[in-house]
Structure 1
C-alpha cells in the first residue's frame, strides 16, 4: 500500500447505481494466477464495444479523463460477488479512490485492505461533485485523509473512516502490516500465555504420542 495523506487529481463521474463487481471486472479476466494485467478488464463492457473498440462516449475513454485517479460513483457501488480482482484492477488502472453514497459491504472491505479509498458521502454531496467533474475545466478533486475532507472545484464535504482504517492509509499499511505493527505486544502476550499455561504448549505432541 502507498503511504499518503492526500489523494488528488483528475476525477470522473460514473453515475451508474448498483454497479457490481462483475461489471467492474468481468469473469474472463479472472483466469490468471496472479494480479497482473487486470487494468485491461476494468469496466470492460462499458469501455469497449462488441468488436473490442473503445466506446467514444464513455467517460474514461475521453482524453480529459485519461489520468483519472478518483471516481464519483452512484449508490451501492461494488455490490455483487466478492471478487477482490475488482479492487486490484481499479488500482492498476490508476484509480486511488471511489466516492459514493454507499458501497457493497465486501467491496468496501476489500478496498480498505488493498489501499483503494472508499469515501461515503451523501447523495447531495455526490450530485454536487458530479456536476463539477462532468465539466473538463473543473474535473480535479482532492481528498484529505488526515482531515477526512473531500473537495471539488465548488464543493467540500466531510466523510468518516474508522480510526484503524484511517491510520492504515496514513501509514501505508494493509491489515497484515497493521497487525505486525503490534508485533512486540503479540510476542509478549504469547510469552505470558505459555507461562501461565505451559501444559498447553505441547498438547498436540502428547496426543500424537498416545495414538501411535
Structure 2
C-alpha cells in the first residue's frame, strides 16, 4: 500500500445519513474475488434505477462527502475495498462507525471526521468542487473553504507511511527484540528452556 500526505481531487456529495456497509457493498457480491476488483459493486442497490446517482454523474470523484454515521452495520472490510477500488481516497462525514474507520485507514482510505460536514454537503449540493486534503495539517479545503478534521496520530502515521497493523508492529521490531532480551534475563523462568535460545 502506498502512503500519502496530500490528496487533491474532485469532491461529490452523497447526502445520506447512516450509510451502512450493506449499502456500500451488498452482501451478495461478497463471494467475488478481490483480484477482480470491488469497485463495480459500490453502492449497487442505491445506484440501481437511479440515473442521477452522484458517482454516476461524476465518476472521477475521489472525495466523497456523506452524512453522519458513515460505515455503520456489519464489519465487512469489503466495504472499504469497494470504495478504494472505485477510486475514492477520502470520505468526509461528521462521524464514522469505529470498525469501518479502522478498516479504512488500514487500506489507505482517510475517514475525515469533519464537525461541520453538513455545511460542506450543503455547499456542494448536486455539484462538485475541487478538494485538497493535508494529512499533516489535518485540513480539508473544498471550494475555497478550509475545515479541520480529527484523526488519531497513529492513523495519520499509518496513512502517511502506507502501513497496516502488521507494518506498524514491524516498525517497533528493535523495541520488541530488546524487550525479549530483557525479559529473558530478568525472568528466565518464563521461558521453556533456560531462556537463552528463546530470546536469541
Q: Alignment partner of 1:102: what SS?
A: coil
Equivalent-residue separation in structure 2 for 1:35 and 1:84 (angstroms): 15
Equivalent-residue separation in structure 2 for 1:127 and 1:105 (angstroms): 20
For the pair 1:115 / 2:105, whether they are aligned, the reply is no
Matching residue of 2:130: 140
Matching residue of 2:180: 190
What do residues 184-203 of structure 1 show as CA deviations (whole Å, max 9, x unaligned)?
11111111112222232217
Deviation at 1:103, TM superposition (A): 0.9
Q: Which has the larger radius of gyration?
A: 1
Alignment length, in residue pairs? 193
Contact 1:42 1:89 (C-alpha < 8 Å) held by counterparts: yes
Equivalent-residue separation in structure 1 for 2:139 and 2:35 (angstroms): 31
Task: Give the alignment partner of residue 104 of structure 1, picking from 97, 122, 125.
Answer: 97
Task: Give the alignment partner of residue 94 of structure 1, picking from 87, 92, 97.
Answer: 87
TM-score by length of 1: 0.85
Matching residue of 2:197: none
Equivalent-residue separation in structure 2 for 1:180 and 1:109 (angstroms): 18
Deviation at 1:157, TM superposition (A): 0.8
Q: Which ranges of structure 1 fall in alignment gaps of 5 or more residues?
A: 50-54, 204-212
Distance 1:35 1:82, change over 3 A: farther
Distance 1:132 1:140, change over 3 A: farther
Q: Which ranges of structure 2 fall in alignment gaps of 5 or more residues?
A: 194-200
